[in-house]
Amino acid sequence: MIYTKTKLKDGAVVCGPVTAKSTYTRCAVCGKEIQIDLRELILAGAQDPSDTEVNCAECSAKMMHRGDINIDIVIRLTDVLRDIGYGMELHGLLRISRSRTSALSPQRNTNFL
């Protein structure tokens, strides 16, 4: 069993198991206390769960709000996804032909091919 051990100001020691239901953090945006499952953080690839920022559902929803989308945003997203290894998936997903991207500058055109 993995547990936490905290020494209080009066010298008393409090121990408690680390479980899916006893792990909490604060939203990195608004500060709201949220319950988290450490297994999910590890499966999501968190290198150090104790130093990982997590957002509450409300702040995540606000971040996911679709605002104005323009070609520059799409290109930046494409660059990031390609750089982290999703180039082939993007190519298959977007299915953008050379004729549809030929109006783009050569630098921007290569992001889709």
Question: Which residues have CB under 8 Å from 108's CB, separation 6+?
Answer: 71, 75, 101
Please state, as a whole number, how many other Cβ atoms lie within 10 Å of the Cβ of residue 3. Answer: 10
pLDDT higher than 80, residue 58: yes
The pLDDT of residue 102: 55
Q: Which of 7, 49, 42, 1 is nearest to 25 (CA)?
A: 49
The pLDDT of residue 11: 94
pLDDT tens for 69-99 read: 778 888 888 888 888 888 888 777 766 554 4
The pLDDT of residue 74: 81
pLDDT interval class at 108 (50, 70, 90) = low
Domain boundaries, the chain: 3-64, 71-110
The pLDDT of residue 96: 54
Rounded average pLDDT over 15-22: 86
Rounded average pLDDT over 53-64: 88
**CA-to-CA distance for 112 and 53, rounded, in angstroms?**
32
- Could you tell me whether strands 13-17 and 24-26 are parallel, antiparallel, or unpaired per DSSP bridges? unpaired
pLDDT interval class at 42 (50, 70, 90) = confident
